[in-house]
């Protein structure tokens, strides 16, 4: 929680996480072009949303995140190495190189495991919230997802269930305006925050480019959840400044862009806010950016040397113990 | 293959006003694999629909359109994302003719890319053909080259029954072969025999066809190779006559072994031609594990594993 004593530290830490995430994104997109990485879904443009969310949560709160949550992970303290290992799919990756890049698992940090089929994490968040309440834990569960994901049956099912059971869940829609090539106005006829009313839950629309506003909105939802008042849907509006993924070419379907450093860039917004609060100045900003770049470059080079997982690992963890079928196939293949 | 599919869809749409395409990112973007590139610009947003992100809705709407005499060709962006639509496929699409006493029919073609080998990991690599081939009421086809892609697509659109059209995405950009401009059909239910031989039969389909053909050529095998092309209903005559001729059969597919297409093929042969066999029927398949990302090369059946099975059936006494 932010208060008068810690505000400067908390805000500067938030800004630093945003910068680190941005630096990381640019590095990975570049590395993909150089053939050093297979694929990536950048968070660029969504840093303020993710950091604002993270600021309102405790360590014990559980997050069913999606594939674009690097700033969220960084702010929550997940080491860059953990994120890199997943993207590289190397021997130290928590999911043992099994998942495509951007599909993170970070159990220690209460980050669940990312799947590709969008919004299928939402009903899981509802079930988790039910279980945690049953266990008398005062924990909040968060699910993140994109604007496009609100069209799915899973979104509907989860919203309805969470409201019916009055559960401590926060649905945080990272509304970046696009679902690959489809703009939000072609995805849905109403504001995403308005959908909440139909299920009987609170809906909040917030400027997702503003980390302080997103933090406040999330804090309101967290307090509602912890005091037994039920779920909240937050529609955090930002803009997908990059491509959908490294396989995507947005010039085919949109002319609209947000330039880095422009007033619509959430990092610029944060810089202006923190400068006017007197917490940052240009030289501090330059220092934070420089340190981020060095850190990302150094760590990338180190993690890149880690080899692929040994082939036999691909047969592990399908079950607690391998059945005869898998044993036989492993013997045949290796 | 992308080029052949694209021009065939174009050709079908220009000749038949009742055809409508719908799916995620198929319009402006031209599809994430570019199969529908340029079609929205040519035929308009009413006939090439960029839908919201909802597979269940895409398939359900297609069924409804087809009931009214519009031929819907929905695209599911990756076969791995089809499962929320499974209810619509199994309980509506597959059963409409039967449950209406033949009164309502569905001439629709559901296209979707499937299979691995593109570094897609768990959720962009699945080969779920057996789920569909297990469902009465569906026709299931999969081309292995641009020529068949065109001929099968035309036949599928003309089919009076709903078709699941599985596109082996690893072959989307594979070696180009000439595709004739004029109309032609590849008959549903008919396998191809891209190589003829007497020593053994190798039965395969989809993305594994080039792998098998290369293996056969490289190792100078005198093999009869069958490319099934239609998985439901399979070309039982081609399978049985080849098995009788060679007496040795290897089945190759990328999907997991357990209850995969190979199980059905093997059962058909043992029911109808067991007295002709000199060796057990062997399967070379993907293992029964989720599809891994970094180690995908170990997952995909390749020359080494195919040759191991070939040796075993050839040397069996
Ligand atoms: C069920 C499902 N269908 C299709 C896809 C393919 N796909 C991946 S991301 C995406 C768009 C998602 O848009 P949105 O929910 O707005 O999230 P964003 O990527 O913009 O953050 C699509 C269609 C998928 N992952 N899951
Ligand atoms: Mg989006």
Digit-coded pLDDT (tens) for A56-100: 999 999 999 999 999 999 999 999 999 999 999 999 999 999 999
Which backbone phi and psi does B49 adopt, to 5 degrees?
Answer: -100, 125
Residue B177 has pLDDT above 90, yes or no: no
Q: Contacts of residue A103 in chain B, CB cutoff 8 Å? A: 121-123
- Is the CB of B50 inside 8 Å of chain A's CB atoms? yes
Long-range contacts of B12-16 (CB under 8 A, 24+ apart): B12/B153, B12/B154, B12/B157, B13/B39, B13/B42, B13/B43, B13/B47, B16/B71, B16/B157
Clarify whether residues B121 and B236 are in a common domain.
no
Report d(CA B90, CA B110) in Å as an integer: 13
In whole numbers, what is the pLDDT of chain A averaged over residues? Answer: 97
- Is the CB of B302 inside 8 Å of chain A's CB atoms? no
The number of domains in chain A is 1
Clarify whether residues B165 and B197 are in a common domain.
no
Q: What is the share, in percent, of chain A residues with pLDDT greater than 90?
A: 99
Please tell me the predicted confidence (pLDDT) of residue A22: 98
Any domain includes B187: no
What confidence tier does B176 reach under pLDDT thresholds 50, 70, 90?
confident
Among A306, A300, A243, CA closest to A80: A300
Clarify whether residues B93 and B238 are in a common domain.
no
Mean pLDDT of A112-127: 98
Please tell me the predicted confidence (pLDDT) of residue A1: 78
Who lines ligand 1 at CB under 6 A? A 68, 116-118, 145-149, 174, 176, 178-180, 240, 244; B 24, 53, 55, 77, 81
Residue B73 pairs with which residues in a beta bridge?
B21
Q: How many CB pairs under 8 A join A and B?
A: 121
Indicate the burial class of B92 (C-beta count within 10 angstroms; 0-12, 13-18, 19 or more).
buried
Q: Could you report the predicted ipTM of this complex, rounded to two decimals?
A: 0.95
Q: Contacts of residue B287 in chain A, CB cutoff 8 Å? A: 315, 326, 329-330, 333
State both tokens at B235: 């070309």
Please tell me the predicted confidence (pLDDT) of residue A134: 97
- Is the CB of A181 inside 8 Å of chain B's CB atoms? yes
Report d(CA B93, CA B111) in Å as an integer: 14
What confidence tier does A168 reach under pLDDT thresholds 50, 70, 90?
very high
Mean pLDDT of B93-111: 96
Query: Does the beta-carbon distance from B54 to A151 stay under 8 Å?
Result: yes
- Is the CB of A187 inside 8 Å of chain B's CB atoms? yes
Residue A145 distance to chain B (closest CA, Å): 13
CATH of the domain at A43: 3.40.50.970
Please tell me the predicted confidence (pLDDT) of residue B164: 98
Q: Domain containing B100: what range?
A: 2-171
- Is the CB of A98 inside 8 Å of chain B's CB atoms? yes
Any domain includes A2: no
Mean pLDDT of A3-32: 97
Residue B80 has pLDDT above 80, yes or no: yes
Any domain includes B123: yes
Please tell me the predicted confidence (pLDDT) of residue B245: 98
Please tell me the predicted confidence (pLDDT) of residue B196: 98
**Global confidence as pTM:** 0.97
Q: Domain containing A307: what range?
A: 7-333
Any domain includes B65: yes
Please tell me the predicted confidence (pLDDT) of residue B178: 84
pLDDT digits 0-9 by tens, A220-238:
999 999 999 999 999 999 9
Residue A176 has pLDDT above 80, yes or no: yes
DSSP secondary structure code for residue B80 in this structure: G
Which backbone phi and psi does B230 adopt, to 5 degrees?
Answer: -110, 130
Clarify whether residues B103 and B11 are in a common domain.
yes
CATH of the domain at B138: 3.40.50.970
Report d(CA B92, CA B55) in Å as an integer: 14
Residue A249 has pLDDT above 90, yes or no: yes
Clarify whether residues B148 and B13 are in a common domain.
yes
Active-site position among A68, A76, A103, A244: A244
Any domain includes B182: no
Q: Contacts of residue B29 in chain A, CB cutoff 8 Å? A: 180-181, 252-253
Residue A175 pairs with which residues in a beta bridge?
A237
pLDDT digits 0-9 by tens, A281-316:
999 999 999 999 999 999 999 999 999 999 999 999
Please tell me the predicted confidence (pLDDT) of residue A251: 95
Task: Give the closest residue (by CA) to ligand 1 atom 11.
Answer: A179
Residue B175 has pLDDT above 80, yes or no: no
Any domain includes A1: no
CATH of the domain at B302: 3.40.50.920
Please tell me the predicted confidence (pLDDT) of residue B317: 87
The number of domains in chain B is 2
In 3-state terms, what secondary structure has residue B79?
helix
A122-134 vs A153-164: helix axis angle to the nearest 10? 20
* DSSP element (H, E) containing B246: helix B236-246
Picking from B53, B293, B298, the nearest residue to A99 by CB comes out as B293
Please tell me the predicted confidence (pLDDT) of residue A329: 97
Q: Contacts of residue B119 in chain A, CB cutoff 8 Å? A: 38-39, 100
Any domain includes B177: no
pLDDT digits 0-9 by tens, B127-146:
999 999 999 999 999 999 99
Give per-residue burial for A254-281: e unless 16+ CB within 10 Å, then b: eeeebeeeeeebbbbbbbebbeeeebbe
């Amino acid at each position: 929680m932010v208060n008068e004593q810690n505000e400067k530290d908390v805000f500067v830490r938030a800004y630093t996480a945003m910068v680190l995430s941005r630096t990381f994104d640019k590095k990975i997109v570049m590395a993909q072009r150089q053939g050093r990485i297979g694929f990536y879904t950048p968070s660029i443009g969504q840093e303020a949303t993710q950091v604002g969310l993270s600021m309102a949560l405790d360590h014990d709160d559980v997050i069913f995140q999606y594939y674009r949550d690097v700033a969220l992970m960084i702010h929550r303290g997940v080491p860059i190495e953990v994120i890199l290992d997943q993207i590289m799919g190397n021997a130290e990756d928590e999911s043992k190189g099994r998942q495509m890049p951007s599909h993170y698992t970070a159990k220690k940090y209460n980050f669940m495991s990312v799947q590709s089929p969008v919004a299928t994490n939402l009903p899981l968040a509802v079930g988790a919230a039910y279980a945690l309440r049953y266990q008398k834990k005062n924990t909040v569960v968060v699910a993140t997802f994109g604007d496009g994901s609100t069209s799915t049956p899973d979104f509907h099912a989860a919203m309805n269930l969470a409201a019916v059971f009055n559960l401590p869940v926060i649905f945080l829609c990272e509304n970046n305006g696009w679902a690959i090539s489809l703009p939000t106005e072609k995805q849905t006829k109403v504001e995403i925050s308005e959908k909440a009313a139909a299920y009987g839950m609170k809906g909040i629309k917030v400027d997702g480019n503003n980390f302080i506003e997103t933090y406040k909105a999330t804090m309101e939802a967290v307090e509602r959840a912890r005091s037994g008042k039920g779920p909240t849907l937050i529609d955090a509006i930002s803009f997908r400044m990059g491509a959908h993924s490294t396989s995507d070419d947005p010039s085919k379907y949109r002319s609209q862009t947000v330039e880095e450093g422009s007033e619509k860039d959430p990092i610029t917004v944060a810089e202006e806010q923190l400068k006017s609060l007197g917490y940052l100045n240009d030289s501090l900003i330059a220092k934070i950016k420089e340190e981020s770049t060095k850190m990302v470059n150094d760590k990338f080079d180190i993690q890149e040397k880690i080899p692929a997982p040994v082939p036999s690992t691909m047969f592990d963890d399908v079950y607690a113990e391998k059945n005869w079928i898998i044993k036989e196939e492993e013997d045949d293949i290796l | 293959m992308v080029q052949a599919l694209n021009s065939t869809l174009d050709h079908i749409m220009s000749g038949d006003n009742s055809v409508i395409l719908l799916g995620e990112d198929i319009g402006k973007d031209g599809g994430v694999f570019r199969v529908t590139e340029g079609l929205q610009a040519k035929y308009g947003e009413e006939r090439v629909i960029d839908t919201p992100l909802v597979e269940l809705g895409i398939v359900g709407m297609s069924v409804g359109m087809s009931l009214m005499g519009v031929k819907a060709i929905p695209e599911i962006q990756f076969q791995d994302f089809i499962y929320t639509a499974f209810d619509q496929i199994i309980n509506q699409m597959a059963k409409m003719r039967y449950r209406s006493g033949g009164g309502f029919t569905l001439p629709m073609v559901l296209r979707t890319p499937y299979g691995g080998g593109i570094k897609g990991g768990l959720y962009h690599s699945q080969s779920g053909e057996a789920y569909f081939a297990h469902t009465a009421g569906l026709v299931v086809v999969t081309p292995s080259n641009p020529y068949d892609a065109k001929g099968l697509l035309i036949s599928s659109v003309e089919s009076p029954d709903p078709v699941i059209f599985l596109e082996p995405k690893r072959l989307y950009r594979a070696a180009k072969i000439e595709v004739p401009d004029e109309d032609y059909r590849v008959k549903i239910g008919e396998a191809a025999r891209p190589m003829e031989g007497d020593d053994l039969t190798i039965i395969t389909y989809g993305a594994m066809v080039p792998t098998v053909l290369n293996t056969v050529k490289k190792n100078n095998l005198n093999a009869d190779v069958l490319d099934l092309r239609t998985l439901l209903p399979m070309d039982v005559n081609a399978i049985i006559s080849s098995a009788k001729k060679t007496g040795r059969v290897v089945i190759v597919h990328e999907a997991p072994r357990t209850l995969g297409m190979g199980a059905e093929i093997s059962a058909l042969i043992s029911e109808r031609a067991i007295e002709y066999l000199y060796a057990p029927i062997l399967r070379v398949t993907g293992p029964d594990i989720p599809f891994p990302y970094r180690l995908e090369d170990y997952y995909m059946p390749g020359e080494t594993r195919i040759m191991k099975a070939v040796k075993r059936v050839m040397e069996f006494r």
